[in-house]
Structure 1
C-alpha cells in the first residue's frame, strides 16, 4: 500500500511539474531595451510591471536607450538581450552584416504624425525650417523624411534635420522654438493641439503595412538560449492580453514610463495602441518589405524580407492554443 501511495505521489509530482514548468522561477536576470517614450513600447512595460516576465522566471530590467540606432548598437555589443525597435535601424544594421531578427511584431503600421509650431499653418511653410528627430539612423529620422516627401518637401535640401532626443525632448524643443516641426507617435498630446500646434500629416492613414515596433534579439542569443526567448515571448503575449483587456490598469503602468499623470493622455494612448497591437504578434513580413523598399531600395530586391524575422516562437503559442485560451 505504501509503495502504491509512493508511486502515486511521484506521478502526481511529475504531472504538476509538467503543468507548472513554464512558471518555475529560475532567477535569470537580463535587460530589455526600448527606444522611445511612447505607447508603442507599452507591451514590454506591462509584461514587466504586471508580473508576467517574473512568472516565467525572468528578472527583466527595462532600459531606455533613445533612438533605434543606439538600441541596435547596444544589442550588438551585448549590453542587453532584447530590444523593442523599429524596422529601419534594425534592417539597416542587418544589411551591413548584423544578426538581429524580429521575433514579434507589436505595431505593424506607422502610428506617427508630423506636427509643427503654431506659425506653420501650411505644409509648404516648413521649407527652410528645422525638423527635430531623435538621432540620425533612428526610426524618427526615416519617418520624418518619409512624411516630408509625402508633403512634397525635399528632405535633403529644403529642411534641416536636427538631432534633439526623445519625443519629450522634441516636444520641449518645439515649444521653445528650437525646432519648428517634428514627428511623434499618436496620440499627440491634446495640450499641444489645443494650444494651436498643427498636425500636417497622419501616417496611420497612409494605408500600407509597415514594421514599426517589434521585439528583436540576436540570432546568436536564440541559438544559445532558445528557452529564455521562448519564455520571454510567452510573457510578452500575456502582456498583450493584459493591455487589451485591463485598460485602466495598463494606463496606471504607463504613468511610470510615459512620465505623466495626465489621465486623458494616458487613456488615449491605451485606446490607440491596444487596438494596434495584434493578439498574435507575428512580425509583419509585408511590413518589413515596405521598410526595405522605402529606405533601402537599392538592396530591397536582393534580399528576402522573411529572412529578417523568426516566427517560430509566436507560431508555437498559436498552434498550441495558448493565445486562444487567454481570450
Structure 2
C-alpha cells in the first residue's frame, strides 16, 4: 500500500516537472534586423534551449526596424529587437510601445585611429567616419572630441560612411583618420596596426539591444513576455558566468578564431547589463541623442521608454536582486 502511494507521489512529481515539456509550446513572433554580435546573447539562449524550456516556440523574422515597430503596433509581432528604433518612435510619436529588457547598459564600440594619432587631441583637423549623422557613432565622436578639448563642429570633419565593415575599409585608405568600430572589427583594426584610442562606454553611457513590445502585448500576453524575459536573463547570466561556453559560441556562430572570440568576449563584458535594465543616465542619454538626431527638443520622461514590471517579477522568481537603475 505504502509502495503504491510512493509510486503515485513519484509519478505526480515527474508529471509536474515534465508538464512544461508536454504542453504545446506558445508561439512568439520576434522581429530582428539581422545577425549582430550585439544580439548574440539571445542567439546563445536559443541554442541552449532556454526559451524552449520556458515553453516558447520562437519564430524569428528578419526585417527592417521601421517595419518591425509598425508590426508591433498592428499585432503582427509579439516583440522586436529594434529597441533603438522603438525608442525613437516612442519619443517622437508617443506610440504605445515599451522596452521590457536590455542586453547592454553601455555601447560596445571603440574609437580607432590611424597609427600616427596617439590621443584624442590629435584628431584636430582630421576626418572621422561615422555611420550616419545623428547616430550613436556620431554622438560618441562628438562627446569624445569635447572631452579632448576639441569642437566637434569646427575641429574635426565627420563624414557618414555606413556600417562598421565599410568604415574599417575606409580607415585603411586615405579618406578617414579615425572611426568608432564595434567587435570584432576593432580587434582586426588593432591587428592591422591601428590604435584603440578609447572604449566608448568609458565616457558615454546608453543602452543597446533588448526587446520592445506593444502595451497591448504587455497587458494581454503577460505570460509570453515573462517567458521571453526569463530566457533572456538566463542567457545574460550564462554569458557573465561561463566565459568558455560563451567564447565557444561566439567563435562558432560568427566564424571567428578562438583567440578573436575570446577578445570579443573581453571587449563586450563591460557593457553587459547585470539584470536586464538600463541605467537612468543611459536612458537620458538616449533621449538626448534622439533630440540631436531630429535637431529639435524632445521632452519625454524615461518611464515612457521602458516598463520593468514583468522584469521585476521574473527577477524575484529567479532569486535575482535587481540592480540600480
Could you tell me the TM-score, scaled by structure 2's length? Answer: 0.77
Partner of 1:316: 313
Whether the aligned pair in 2 keeps the contact of 1:131 and 1:182 (CA below 8 Å) is yes
Give the match's secondary structure for 2:171.
helix
Partner of 2:278: 283
Return the match for 1:292 from 287, 292, 299.
Answer: 287
- Mapped to 1, the partners of 2:28 and 2:116 lie a distance apart of 49
Partner of 2:238: 242
State the Cα distance separating 1:80 from its structure 2 match: 4.9
- Mapped to 1, the partners of 2:146 and 2:216 lie a distance apart of 37
Give the match's secondary structure for 2:36.
coil
Q: 1:62 to 1:265 in 2, by over 3 A?
A: farther
- Mapped to 1, the partners of 2:187 and 2:206 lie a distance apart of 26
Partner of 2:71: 77
**Which shifted more, 92-101 or 168-177?**
168-177
Partner of 1:12: 12
Whether the aligned pair in 2 keeps the contact of 1:118 and 1:197 (CA below 8 Å) is yes
| Two-structure CA RMSD over aligned residues (Å) | 3.6
State the Cα distance separating 1:316 from its structure 2 match: 0.6
- Mapped to 2, the partners of 1:122 and 1:44 lie a distance apart of 36
1:91 paired to 2:84: no
Return the match for 2:167 from 162, 166, 170.
Answer: 170
Partner of 2:226: 230
Q: 1:212 to 1:143 in 2, by over 3 A?
A: farther
State the Cα distance separating 1:273 from its structure 2 match: 3.1
Whether the aligned pair in 2 keeps the contact of 1:115 and 1:181 (CA below 8 Å) is yes
Q: Which runs of 5+ in 1 are unaligned?
A: none
**Which shifted more, 45-54 or 184-193?**
184-193
Could you tell me the TM-score, scaled by structure 1's length? Answer: 0.76
- Mapped to 1, the partners of 2:304 and 2:102 lie a distance apart of 14
Q: 1:179 to 1:275 in 2, by over 3 A?
A: closer
Matches within 5 A, 1:126-205: 127=125, 129-133=127-131, 135=132, 138-156=135-153, 158-165=156-163, 167-177=164-174, 179-185=176-182, 189-205=186-202
Return the match for 1:43 from 16, 41, 44.
Answer: 41
Partner of 2:268: 273
CA deviations over 1:97-154 (Å, ceiling 9, x no partner): 1333221122212333211234545544463525131x45543343344334444455
**Which shifted more, 307-316 or 25-34?**
25-34
Q: 1:80 to 1:271 in 2, by over 3 A?
A: farther
**Which shifted more, 76-85 or 222-231?**
76-85
Q: Which runs of 5+ in 2 are unaligned?
A: none
Return the match for 2:102 from 93, 96, 105.
Answer: 105
Q: How many pairs were matched up?
A: 308
Partner of 2:25: 26
State the Cα distance separating 1:63 from its structure 2 match: 5.8
State the Cα distance separating 1:294 from its structure 2 match: 5.1
CA deviations over 1:16-50 (Å, ceiling 9, x no partner): 44884488441515234257733x32211111111
- Mapped to 1, the partners of 2:106 and 2:77 lie a distance apart of 26
State the Cα distance separating 1:155 from its structure 2 match: 4.3
Give the match's secondary structure for 1:319.
helix
State the Cα distance separating 1:71 from its structure 2 match: 2.3
